[in-house]
Amino acid sequence: MALETPNHTQTVAGWAAYDSSGKIAPYIFKRRENGVNDVTIQVMYCGVCHTDLHHVKDDWGITMYPVVPGHEITGVITKVGSDVKNFKLGDRVGVGCLAASCLECEFCKNSQENYCDQIQFTYNGIFWDGTITYGGYSDMLVADHRYVVHVPDNLPMDAAAPLLCAGITVFSPMKDCQLLESPGKKVGIVGLGGLGHVAVKMAKAFGHQVTVISTSPSKENEAKQRLGADYFLVSTDAKQMQRGKRSLDVILDTVSAKHSLGPILELLKVNGTLVVVGAPDRPIELPSFPLIFGKRAVKGSMTGGMKETQEMMDVCGKHNITCDVELIKPDKINEALDRLARNDVRYRFVIDIAGTSKL
């Protein structure tokens, strides 16, 4: 593990957390030269994910400081390696959570690189050359082309950026549950944040009846009127939850705080599936009776492979699905992280890295 090698000759301006206080400050570092399989990307925008918050504060005990967060990156290609055939100068592209994998295991060969046991992430990972990866809170990125996707021309680069994590995180389990090709299902979305709001948009675009489950009654109008949800349940209201029993085919749980899955499982029909995509820093509660008496399944899902991520971007282009974002300048990152910790954002902060938007 190293910060750089002799091949790291490109000086980059970025923003990093230096310790577990989580405070972000300017950071100058070096990236590798563009290799034969690489593309160099001028970063335009980068979303602020809840994972960034966990990493800068070392909530999971795995952070390697200084850490440059950011895995919801959109930008424009400025260099193309000699062996790269599917990208060209000027292409609008995105980089999500993945930076490298073994390329040889069953998952890599089956376009499920995200489940490779040697997966390395866009930041706080160890790249093939042994150096620590730095993310999209920076003005330039060098990425292996196998972990880069095209951004459809009709999608704005700022509102498309969070699709690289939030979008694929909810798209992948929807596809896994056959929600793309089988309209008319009853789908529940737990939590109406960065992941939840785009999950509602996707589920509606795919032709399903959508129920939002939230602890916040104040979000009902937003869920129904603006995002198009059909129903809204307040999870702390026992009567509402009782009325919703055995009504849903599939539920996506996007909540990143500790909570019990018991009441949520009761909303599923017999043989229903609950997919957990949120990442609480403490164990969630999973009582056995709702599983046993409803023949229900609980599974997890983590982002998606590269083929699936490109499919997700193309589907979002087809249906004009983007994230609802609040643009910020880099000097407001700390304020944004503080607000994110309080769930005070509708629904994703996106950093205007290149300074191209009027804020």
Query: Which residue ranges make up each domain of the chain?
Result: 8-165+304-352, 166-300
- What is the rounded distance in angstroms from the CA atom of residue 242 to the CA atom of residue 208? 22
User: What pLDDT is attached to residue 3?
Assistant: 76
Token pair belonging to 98 = 């993945």
Question: What does each of the 359 residues of the chain score in pLDDT, given as a tens digit?
Answer: 567 888 999 999 999 999 999 999 999 999 999 999 999 999 999 999 999 999 999 999 999 999 999 999 999 999 999 999 999 999 999 999 999 999 999 999 999 999 999 999 999 999 999 999 999 999 999 999 999 999 999 999 999 999 999 999 999 999 999 999 999 999 999 999 999 999 999 999 999 999 999 999 999 999 999 999 999 999 999 999 999 999 999 999 999 888 899 999 999 999 999 999 998 878 888 999 999 999 999 999 999 999 999 999 999 999 999 999 999 999 999 999 999 999 899 999 999 999 977 65
pTM: 0.94
Q: Is 225 helix (H, G, I), strand (E, B) or coil?
A: helix
Q: Please provide the CATH number assigned to the domain covering 166-300.
A: 3.40.50.720
Token pair belonging to 256 = 């990143």
User: What pLDDT is attached to residue 1?
Assistant: 59
Query: Exposure pattern of 85-118 as b/e (b: 16+ CB <10 Å)?
Result: eebeeebbbbbbbbbbbeeebebbeeebbbbbee
User: What pLDDT is attached to residue 246?
Assistant: 98
Between helix 166-176 and helix 194-205 the angle, nearest 10°, is 40
Q: How many residues does the chain have?
A: 359
- What is the rounded distance in angstroms from the CA atom of residue 23 to the CA atom of residue 298? 36
Q: Which of 356, 352, 331 shows the shortest CA–CA distance to 15?
A: 331
184 with 248: CB under 8 angstroms?
Answer: no
- What is the rounded distance in angstroms from the CA atom of residue 250 to the CA atom of residue 189? 9
Radius of gyration for the alpha carbons in the chain, expressed in angstroms and rounded: 20
Q: Which residues partner with 12 through β-bridges?
A: 29
User: What pLDDT is attached to residue 279?
Assistant: 84
* Sign, CA torsion 20/253/116/311: negative
CATH class of 8-165+304-352: alpha beta
pLDDT digits over 195-231, tens only?
Answer: 999 999 999 999 999 999 999 999 999 999 999 999 9
User: What pLDDT is attached to residue 158?
Assistant: 98
User: What pLDDT is attached to residue 358?
Assistant: 63
